[in-house]
Each structure stands twice: as C-alpha cells, then as structure tokens.
Amino acid sequence: MHRFFVVPEALAGDRFPLPVKIAHQVTRVLRLRDGDEVLLLDLWGRLPTAGSVFADITWVGFTGAQVPDEHREVFAAAVGGRDAAIALVQEAARQGRELRGWEVDRAARSGLLKSDFMLTSASGLHATPIGEYVLCVMLMFCKGAPRFVRAQERREWLRFMPQELYGKTVGVVGLGHIGAEVARLAKAFGCRVLATRRSVTSRTKGELVDELLPPPELPALLAESDFVVLAVPLTPDTRHLIGEAELRAMRPTGVLINIARGAVLDEAALVRALKEGWIAGAGLDVFEQEPLPPESELWDMENVILSPHISGGTEIYNQRAVGIFCENLRRYLAGERLMNLADPSRGY
C-alpha cells in the first residue's frame, strides 16, 4: 500500500520542487483502488523531508488533472508508470472536488461534511493576526484615522477631538479562537467585553469576558456595545445573522466589524444603516461577493474602513499552518484523533 501527497497545481514550476514544497488547509484521505491512499493538502507550506513520521510517504502530483510536462516523469516514477500517475491525479481531483483553498463552510455546502471522509481545518491559526486587525480598526475609529489620512491627502491641517478606546464596551459575537483573542486584547486596552457563545444557555461570567451570553441574547449585546465584532463561522444558522433588526438594535454611535464571513451580514441592510445613521460606522474585511464589486456603495463611504479579506494574513502564516499539518499527520499515522476535526452537526 502506498500513500501519496497531492499538492496544488499552483506549486508547479521550478520555484517549487516537489519533494520540498507542500500545502495544507483541508487534510483529506482518499481510499483508492489496491488499498492506496491519497492525502489531499492545501495551504502553502514547507514540510521536513526527514524523520520517521514521513518515512513511508511517496510524493506525487497535483489536485488538478493537468500535470505539467516537467513533472510527469517524477509522478511516473512514484506510481509505476506515466498513465498510472496521470490517472491517479485525475481521480484525486475528481474525488477531492477541487479542495484548493476551501474553507470548511464551502466544504459543508458541498455535502463533504456528511461523507465518511475526515475533514480538518486550520482553526486557531488566524487568531493572532485577526485579533490585531480588529484592535487596529477599533483604534482607527476612536482616533479618527480615516479623517486625518484624508486630510493629509488634501494637505489640510484638520484638528478634531479623538476618542479613547479605554472604557468602551466591545461585543464579540462568537467566542471561538478568534473571538477569545479579540476579547483578550480588548481587555488589555481597558474595555468592557461581552460575548455570545453557542454552547452557553444563560448569562454568566467568563474567564476572558465580563459577561458571556447565550445566542438568544444577541439583541442585548448589540444594544450595549460600542463595537460589535462578528467572529462566527458561516453556517445555515448564522447566514444573515445580522440584518435590519439587528442593525437597528445597535447604538447610533456603534461600529460593526466583520472578520467572519461576508454572508453573516446582510450587506444591503448594512449599506442602508450606514447611509441613514442607524450605526456610526463599519470595519469590513469580508463581503458577500468577493472581490467587492466596483459599483458597491461601500467603497465611497467615509464611515467605512474596508480591506480585501486580509485580516488573517501574517508573514509567518506558513510556519503555523505547517505546524498544524505536521501534528495532524503524526496523529494520522499513529492512529490518534486528529486536531480540528470538522463536526457535521455544527457545520464547521
């Protein structure tokens, strides 16, 4: 029996020698004929080539069916013939349903979570950069950064009174890895922190937050918060979790920050809320349609800070991703429970 790594087509070329470069986001095991297994990997990273953990791994191909000519001989040597190599890659692509760059919510929509395949995520990897991003956006609103940046562009000496973040109430919708890091940083800045969590059934004190609320008390969190941070996964229950009623429940001075998924927020309702003054502003890193269309009104709104889905980016992303992958590979080979297994009942 052979095990094969199937890596993305994007790694083709002289810059990415096959025995060195791999990728990881969703790790999936495909059972092929003759007992062979294919481990589908995503997210670029660097994997050690030495050590007993990797001793029985054969390096192979791409998730796409087209194999670059310069690599075909490598694949052929790995699986015993060019035809076999190409057939293997094609079957992996077909069964894998093109897992390149998939988030778990996309896998859920495809029905993959209901299959008998193991699906893991890179949960927790983004907590630090996204937590910092959220604090950056809150500080930008408090200190009036958009105003003085625009004034600088006009060469205008514009003086105004900034605000403090200290003492503000931050409401975190979804206290997972990312929400917990946002809460920790907000507390370090002297904020009062409220949060909702799916598993909570009544108001209680939390370790990282001043009050932990069950999901039905979301309106109370919205009404009490100066900043509302969306940090929930996208599931059928959270799609358009924030719509017109929820936006109207926020303070007129409140700011909404979305680093979850675009569809968690009803974007049309948000545009109306920003134009009509239901809320004071929004910080948006994710959108219902990405890239955000040029005709979107959000581009020109002075009370909006937006970014192109980069809040989770970091210069050491690959190191963290490969660390998660290597630990999961070790567990898989040892027959142990994998980290970050997706739960079909929750949808993530």
How many domains would you assign to the chain?
2
166 and 103, same structural domain? no
Q: Write down the pLDDT at residue 41.
A: 41
Question: Can you say whether residue 117 is alpha, beta or left, with left for phi > 0 and alpha for psi between -120 and 50 degrees?
Answer: beta
89 and 23, same structural domain? yes
Q: Write down the pLDDT at residue 9.
A: 36
110 and 161, same structural domain? no
Q: Which of 24, 28, 126, 261 is catalytic?
A: 261
65 and 189, same structural domain? no
Helix (H, G, I), strand (E, B) or coil at 154: helix
Residue 85 forms part of a structural domain = yes
205 and 178, same structural domain? yes
Q: Is 290 a catalytic residue?
A: yes
Nearest alpha-carbon partner for 223 in 242, 245, 251: 251
Contact 254, 141 (CB under 8 A): no
218 and 77, same structural domain? no
Sequence-distant (≥ 6) Cβ neighbours of residue 326 within 8 angstroms:
47, 48, 53
Residue 15 forms part of a structural domain = yes
Chain centroid, CA 17 distance in Å: 28
Number of neighbours of residue 207 by Cβ within 10 angstroms:
8
Which residues partner with 29 through β-bridges?
Answer: 39
174 and 114, same structural domain? no
Residue 346 forms part of a structural domain = no
Element (H, E) at 7: strand 3-7
Angle between helices 127-143 and 177-188 in degrees, nearest 10: 40
286 and 140, same structural domain? yes
Blockwise average pLDDT, block size 10, the chain, 348 residues: 41 34 35 43 34 35 39 42 38 38 47 56 88 98 97 97 98 97 98 96 93 97 98 94 98 98 97 98 97 97 97 82 66 78 69
Nearest alpha-carbon partner for 34 in 78, 62, 2, 81: 2
Residue 340 forms part of a structural domain = no
Structure tokens at 283: 């910080």
138 and 212, same structural domain? yes
28 and 99, same structural domain? yes
With 0.75 as the threshold, say if the pTM is over it: no
Q: Which of 290, 302, 336, 346 is catalytic?
A: 290
Residue 342 forms part of a structural domain = no
Structure tokens at 202: 């009544």
Q: Is 261 a catalytic residue?
A: yes
Q: Which of 248, 309, 330, 331 is catalytic?
A: 309
Contact 227, 167 (CB under 8 A): no
Residue 344 forms part of a structural domain = no
Contact 172, 183 (CB under 8 A): yes
Return the residue matching tokens 């699906």.
119
156 and 100, same structural domain? no
Contact 98, 116 (CB under 8 A): no
Note down the domain range covering 35.
3-124+317-334
114 and 133, same structural domain? no
Q: What span, in angstroms and rounded, lies between the C-alpha atoms of 166 and 107?
A: 40
Q: What span, in angstroms and rounded, lies between the C-alpha atoms of 230 and 282?
A: 11
In Å, what is the CA distance from 114 to each residue of 102, 108, 177, 217, 347? 16, 8, 24, 30, 9
Residue 343 forms part of a structural domain = no
* Sign of the Cα pseudo-torsion (304, 248, 233, 107, in order): negative
* Sign of the Cα pseudo-torsion (46, 51, 52, 56, in order): positive
Return the residue matching tokens 């946002």.
182
Which CATH number goes with the domain that contains 261? 3.40.50.720
Residue 27 forms part of a structural domain = yes
